[in-house]
Amino acid sequence: MSDTIAAVATAPGGPIGIIRVSGDGAARAVSAVFQPKNGGSLVDASPHKLVYGTLHSRKGAVLDCCLAAWMRAPHSYTGEDMAEIQCHGSPAVLGEALAALFANGARQAGPGEFTKRAFINGKMDLSGAEAVQELVTAQTAQAAQNASAQIAGKVGGTVQALRDSLVEMVAHFHAVVDFPDEDIDPFLFEQAQEILHRAAGTLYSLAESYERGRVIRDGVPCVILGRPNAGKSSLLNALLGCERAIVTDQPGTTRDVIEETVRVGPVLLRMLDTAGLRDTDDPVEKIGIERALATANGAAMILAVFDGSDMLSDEDLMVIARSHGRRAIAVINKSDLPDTLDLAKIRRHFDHIVSVSAKTGEGMDALTKLIPSMVGLDGAVFDGSIITSARQAAALARAAERCEEALFAAQSGMTPDAVVMDAEGAIAALGEVTGQNVTEDVISKIFENFCVGK
């Protein structure tokens, strides 16, 4: 028996609010607060069918005319009896409706409790459950696409298939050892090597995708560096498509770090526009420059902006020095003006150079096409095979290492038990990804970061 939980599943302030209810007492709780217009009870209607009716308070007063749907276990998101009420998003309506449900046996759901129940009831594995949160918080279409495929089992299915092949291999070994008199084929090292080689390669590939996954999930901290009036703020505005930063001919206009988020194809850039680098006696501007240098040190990408209509200056050399050895693009701005800058000197320090006019937009397409390739997402396929969970990546890497060690043992002619010991370690690590071998503390930690109602 599972207790009944209820929660609002939509963000506050929206025109529509959805209340979810799940558990053994869901039928009684929902029947007490929702009355179909055609009479009877919601649970008498066809499952998964939206029904029009009225939503009532604890005292029976009509709160709203709305829709509701009923789902019988196990054919629901959580695998339990479940209902969803779709009403207007008024906080007063939602609050009164929840209070009515609580008065009829439901309790407030905890963070991620609906998805946690779906995992516990076998509706999805742990990797798919984690992907639910990735989908909810996705900030690009590509991130949402990748998470959706993981919910559908892209990672879990691949990992489970590898785990099954390792389990079968280990079981074969144990059968040979435990039943020597039975007519069982001996443990085949060649077959084991094939299984382990394939598993190690696939697992390393998945684990290594986390670097790209982190970019998809968190974005790329990207700082714009340049001397005063090189066009840093104009470039930021051009990328944003709006006038976010103040643009003037007066040097030192930008004195603090301006932060904005820009979507460039599949990449979420966390843009940081900084004070122009130069020697100055202005104490406020000095602080801004110090912050610019500190920001550059922590950034994952640098857009080094140079004025293409002017000669290189000492301030430009400061920009070059700060960009050296970093993931950087030299952006030669003001292509709408006559060229004066010595590009040969720029080419000696930068592998990637783009000529643009932040004023007219010329060359901006070339810049936005280059950025995804700089972070490894150029041509990436967002089919769920890019890992975005650090926990999963660590477990996959451990499993790959144990498969590699088992493969070495098999190739070196060690006894079968040496092979199996490492193979069993890989099986345990893979179980951490799917949830077959994970502690309650880990599960609780995962779901506590979910929003309430999901």
pLDDT tens string, the chain, 454 residues long: the values are 589 999 999 988 899 999 999 999 999 999 999 999 998 899 999 999 999 999 999 999 999 999 999 999 999 999 999 999 999 999 999 999 999 999 999 999 999 999 999 999 999 999 999 999 999 999 899 999 999 999 999 999 999 999 999 999 998 877 766 666 655 565 577 888 899 999 999 999 999 999 999 999 988 988 888 888 888 888 888 888 744 433 334 444 443 456 788 888 889 988 876 654 444 445 544 545 555 555 556 678 899 999 999 999 888 888 898 888 889 999 999 999 999 898 999 999 999 999 999 989 999 999 999 999 998 888 889 999 999 999 999 999 999 999 999 999 888 878 778 888 999 999 999 999 999 988 888 888 899 888 888 8
* Owner of token pair 């179980």: 431
Residue 305, CB half-sphere, CA atoms under 13 Å: how many? 27
Verify that 276 and 367 share a domain, yes or no.
yes
Q: Give per-residue pLDDT as tens, 347-404.
A: 999 999 999 999 899 999 999 999 999 988 888 899 999 999 999 999 999 999 999 9
Name residue 189's amino acid: F
Query: Percentage of the chain with pLDDT > 70?
Result: 88
262 assigned to some structural domain: yes
Q: End of a domain among 350, 374, 398? A: 374
Question: How many whole angstroms separate alpha carbon 9 and alpha carbon 21?
Answer: 10
291 assigned to some structural domain: yes
Which has the closest alpha carbon to 296: 279, 276, 313, 281? Answer: 276
Residues 6+ apart with CB under 8 A from 254: 232, 233, 245, 246, 273, 274, 275, 276, 288
Q: Nearest-5° angle of CA 201, CA 206, CA 212?
A: 135
SS3 call for 203: helix
Which has the closest alpha carbon to 106: 83, 75, 132? Answer: 83
Q: What tokens appear for 329 in the block?
A: 């693009």
Verify that 240 and 347 share a domain, yes or no.
yes
Which has the closest alpha carbon to 317: 304, 328, 308? Answer: 304
SS3 call for 146: helix
Verify that 355 and 246 share a domain, yes or no.
yes
Angstrom distances, CA of residue 286 to CA of 253, 280, 290, 302, 305: 12, 7, 6, 21, 20
Q: End of a domain among 374, 400, 422? A: 374
Question: How many whole angstroms separate alpha carbon 108 and alpha carbon 304?
Answer: 51
* Owner of token pair 């890497």: 397
Q: What tokens appear for 205 in the block?
A: 């590939």
Gyration radius of the chain's alpha carbons: 29
320 assigned to some structural domain: yes
Output the pTM of the full model.
0.83
Q: End of a domain among 315, 340, 374? A: 374
Residues 6+ apart with CB under 8 A from 48: 69, 70, 71, 75
Q: What tokens appear for 2 in the block?
A: 């599972």
CATH number at residue 14: 3.30.1360.120
33 assigned to some structural domain: yes
Verify that 95 and 135 share a domain, yes or no.
no
* Owner of token pair 């990546």: 393
Verify that 369 and 231 share a domain, yes or no.
yes
Verify that 205 and 237 share a domain, yes or no.
no
**What is the DSSP code string of 292-348?**
HHHHHHH-SEEEEEEETTS---HHHHHHHHHHTTSSEEEEEE-TTS---S-HHHHHT
Which has the closest alpha carbon to 54: 31, 73, 76, 74? Answer: 31
Helix 189-208, helix 210-218: angle, nearest 10: 30
Verify that 294 and 400 share a domain, yes or no.
no
Number of domains forming the structure of the chain: 3
Verify that 154 and 77 share a domain, yes or no.
no
Q: Give per-residue pLDDT as tens, 274-310.
A: 654 444 445 544 545 555 555 556 678 899 999 999 9
Question: How many whole angstroms separate alpha carbon 105 and alpha carbon 27?
Answer: 10
239 assigned to some structural domain: yes
Question: How many whole angstroms separate alpha carbon 234 and alpha carbon 258?
Answer: 13
Verify that 397 and 310 share a domain, yes or no.
no
CATH number at residue 408: 1.20.120.430
Question: How many whole angstroms separate alpha carbon 191 and alpha carbon 42?
Answer: 57
218 assigned to some structural domain: no
CATH number at residue 260: 3.40.50.300
Question: How many whole angstroms separate alpha carbon 336 and alpha carbon 308?
Answer: 9
Residues 6+ apart with CB under 8 A from 445: none
Verify that 89 and 187 share a domain, yes or no.
no
Question: How many whole angstroms separate alpha carbon 93 and alpha carbon 74?
Answer: 30
21 assigned to some structural domain: yes
Question: How many whole angstroms separate alpha carbon 137 and alpha carbon 423?
Answer: 36
* Owner of token pair 């660590």: 394
Verify that 366 and 426 share a domain, yes or no.
no
CB 387 within 8 A of CB 210: yes
CB 260 within 8 A of CB 236: yes
Verify that 409 and 291 share a domain, yes or no.
no
- Domain interval for residue 267: 225-374
452 assigned to some structural domain: no
